[in-house]
A and B are shown apart, each in its own frame.
Chain A
Amino acid sequence: MTAELRKEETAEEFHKLIQGYPPEKRYIIPIMHELRRCYQYLPRPALEMLADHMQVPFSQVYGVATFYKAFSLVPKGRVNLKLCDGTTCHIKGSQGLIDEIYRTLGIRPGETTGDRQFSLETVNCIGACALAPALIVDEKVYAQVSNARLQEIIEQNRRGEDGTESN
Chain B
Amino acid sequence: MAQKAIDPAVRILVCCGTGCIANGGLEVLAALRSGLAHRNDMEVESSDSALVTGCHGLCAQGPFVRILPQDITYCRVQAKDVEEIIAKTLEGGTLIKRLLFRDSQRKEFISCRQDIDFYRHQHKIALRNVGEINPDSLDEYMERGGYQALRKALEDMSPDQVIAEVTRSGLRGRGGGGFPTGRKWLSCAATADSPRYIVCNGDEGDPGAFMDESMMEGDPHSILEGMIICAYAIGASRGFIYVRDEYENSVRRLEKAIKDARARGFLGTDILGRSLDFDIEIVRGGGAFVCGEETALLRSIEGEAGEPRDKYIFPSEKGLWGQPTVINNVETWVNIPVIIVHGADSFASVGTESSKGTKVFSVVGKVLHTGLVEVPMGTTLRRIIFDIGGGVPRRRKFKAVQTGGPSGGCIPESGLDMPVDFDSLRQAGSMMGSGGMIVMDDRTCMVEIARYYTNFLAGESCGKCTPCREGLRSLLEVLTRICHGQGNPGDLDRLEEIGETMRLASLCGLGRTAANPVLSTLRYFRDEYRAHISQKRCPAGVCPELTELYIDAVLCNGCTLCVKYCPTRAISGQVRQVHVIDREKCIRCGECVSRCNQDAVLVR
Could you tell me if B365 and A88 are in contact, using CB atoms closer than 8 angstroms?
Answer: yes
- Most chain B CB neighbours (cut-off 10 Å) among A32, A70, A71, A90: A90
**B452 contacts which chain A residues (CB < 8 A)?**
87, 90
Question: Bound state CA distance, A100 and B589, in angstroms?
Answer: 11
* Cβ–Cβ contact A25 & B303, under 8 A: yes
Contact A70 B245 (CB under 8 A): yes
Query: Is B145 close to A, CB under 8 A?
Result: no
Instruction: Please determine whether B204 and A130 come into contact, CB atoms closer than 8 angstroms.
Output: no
Min CB distance B157 to A, Å, is: 33
Is the C-beta of B371 less than 8 angstroms from some C-beta in chain A?
A: yes
Q: How far is the CA of A140 from the CA of B19 in the complex (A)?
A: 11
Which chain B residues border A92 with CB–CB below 8 Å? 365
**A87–B438 contact, CB under 8 A?**
yes
B364 lies within 8 A of A142 (CB): no
Q: Which residues of chain B from 179 to 225 have a CB within 8 Å of any chain A CB?
A: 204-210, 213-214
Name the segment of B114-122, B286-294, B419-427, B518-526 touching the other chain: B286-294
Q: With a 10 A CB-CB cut-off, give which of A26, A91, A130 has the most chain B CB atoms.
A: A130
A69 touches B287 (CB 8 A): yes
> CB distance A141 to B22 under 8 Å?
yes
Say yes or no: is B21 at the interface (Cβ < 8 Å to chain A): yes
1/0 contact string of A121-154 vs chain B (CB within 8 Å): 0011111111110100001111100010000000
Interface pair B305/A91, CB less than 8 Å apart: no
> Residues 71-103 of chain A: 1 if any B CB is under 8 Å from the residue's CB, otherwise 0?
100000000000001111011110010001000
Chain A residues within 8 Å of B206, by CB: 125
| Closest chain B CB from A139 CB (angstroms) | 7
Selected contact of A124 from candidates B18, B207, B306, B307, CB within 8 Å: B207
In the assembled complex, the Cα of A87 lies from the Cα of B210 at a distance in Å of: 12
Please provide the chain B residues from 297 to 344 with a CB less than 8 Å away from any CB of chain A in the complex: 300-307
Which residues of B have CB within 8 Å of A126?
A: 18, 246
B322 to chain A, nearest CB (A): 14
Considering only residues 337-363 of chain B, those with a C-beta below 8 Å from chain A are 362
B303 → chain A closest CB, angstroms: 4
Answer whether residue A45 sits at the interface, using C-beta atoms and an 8 A cutoff: no
**Docked pose: A93 CA to B542 CA in angstroms:** 11
Q: How many residues of A contact B (CB 8 A)?
A: 43
What per-residue 1/0 map shows which CB atoms of A41-75 lie under 8 Å from chain B? 00000000000000000000001100111110000
B521: shortest Cβ distance to chain A, in Å?
14
Q: Is the CB of A70 within 8 A of B286?
A: yes
In the complex, which residues of chain B have a beta carbon less than 8 angstroms from the beta carbon of A114?
Answer: none
Which residue of A24, A71, A91 is within 8 Å of B440 (Cβ)?
Answer: A91
Minimum CB distance partner of A129 in chain B: B364
Q: How far is it, in angstroms, between the C-alpha of A39 and the C-alpha of B403 when the chains are bound? A: 38
Contact status A91-B366, CB under 8 Å: yes
Residues of B within 8 A of A64 (CB): 286, 303-305
Asked if B444 is at the interface of the complex by the 8 Å CB criterion, the answer is yes
Across the interface, A88 reaches (CB within 8 A) one of B205, B208, B301, B590, namely: B208
Q: Nearest residue in A to B366 (C-beta to C-beta)?
A: A91
Cβ-neighbour of A25 out of B204, B285, B302 (below 8 A): B302
Residue positions of B touching A, CB distance < 8 A: 18-19, 21-23, 59-60, 62, 204-210, 213-214, 245-248, 283-289, 300-307, 362, 364-366, 370-371, 402, 406, 436, 438, 440, 444, 449, 452-453, 456, 460, 462, 567, 589-590
Task: Enumerate 27 A-B pairs (CB-CB under 8 Å) in ascending A order.
Answer: A26-B302, A29-B286, A33-B245, A64-B305, A67-B288, A67-B305, A67-B306, A67-B462, A68-B306, A69-B286, A70-B245, A71-B286, A87-B365, A88-B370, A90-B452, A91-B365, A91-B440, A93-B589, A93-B590, A124-B205, A125-B207, A125-B208, A127-B18, A130-B19, A130-B62, A130-B364, A141-B22
**Chain A residues within 8 Å of B, Cβ to Cβ:** 24-30, 32-33, 63-64, 67-71, 85-88, 90-93, 96, 100, 123-132, 134, 139-143, 147
